[in-house]
Every structure is written in C-alpha cells, then in structure tokens.
Structure 1
Amino acid sequence: MDGTLVDTRDLGCGYDFEIINGNLKSYIEVKGLGGHTGGVMFTNKEWQLAKEKMENYYLIIVQNVKDEAKYYSKSS
C-alpha cells in the first residue's frame, strides 16, 4: 500500500492509522493477542467506522505479542 502513514491513535477516531494516497484513504485498526489465540474487542465507534468504510478499513491482528509477534490482516 503506497501513501503517507498518519498515526491517529491519540485522536479517538475509531482507527489507529490512516494511509493517504492522493484522494484514497485507508483506515487501519490494530489489535493484539497475548498468545496465538483469543478474541478482539471493538468499540462501537470502531465497529461503526468499519461498516461505513468497508473495503477501505483494515483490521490487523498481531498474535503472540508477549513472545514472537506475528500479524495477519483482513479488509472488511
């Protein structure tokens, strides 16, 4: 994915990062798991934004953050 990465974690906007490439914006939410399995929780704001942005919203899940982290991504 090309573009400019913007850190939005402190803005409370429903996603952690934004990638801006011309007129296209992608919205990135990052969730971490302590081990290899588990669940993630979405706030109402995160869930609403995911539904609104659909194919431009990406969920990145980082497994095993306490040891050797691995990540997986899924677009809505």
Structure 2
Amino acid sequence: MNDDFTDADAKAICAALGVNTKTITDTFGRTLTVIDEEGMRTLAAHSPNPERGQALVDQIMAAAREAHGGNQ
C-alpha cells in the first residue's frame, strides 16, 4: 500500500466533499493549495475524530487571527 498523499489526492477529497480549493504561489515561488475556514471545518467533520478535528481548526484560526492582529 502506498501511503503517499499527493496534492491530487487532497484536491479529490475536497472535491468529493464540496470543499473549494484555491491554488496560490507564495513569496518563495512555491505553489500551494489552500482552503478557507468553512472548508477546514467540513474536512474536520469528516475526519476519523470530528471533535478533535474541530478543536484543531479552532486552534489554527485563533493563531491566524492573533498573527494578523485579530482582524480576521
């Protein structure tokens, strides 16, 4: 069994769950796939441990808001 999880795998899961993705290029020239908070919550709800998934999203969003001065 191959345990490698590719960008295509991630996009396929997101598409199957109706989660919108966006492809961006960061300041270092790397191409990244991003999703918004609603998408993260959808993925968390479908995870093996939804409660833990939602708690992780809460932590991520709190850290992002703090890093951006609470304006997010």
| Shorter-chain TM band | under 0.3
The two structures have a TM-score, normalised by structure 2, of 0.25
Q: Which has the larger radius of gyration?
A: 2
The two structures have a TM-score, normalised by structure 1, of 0.24
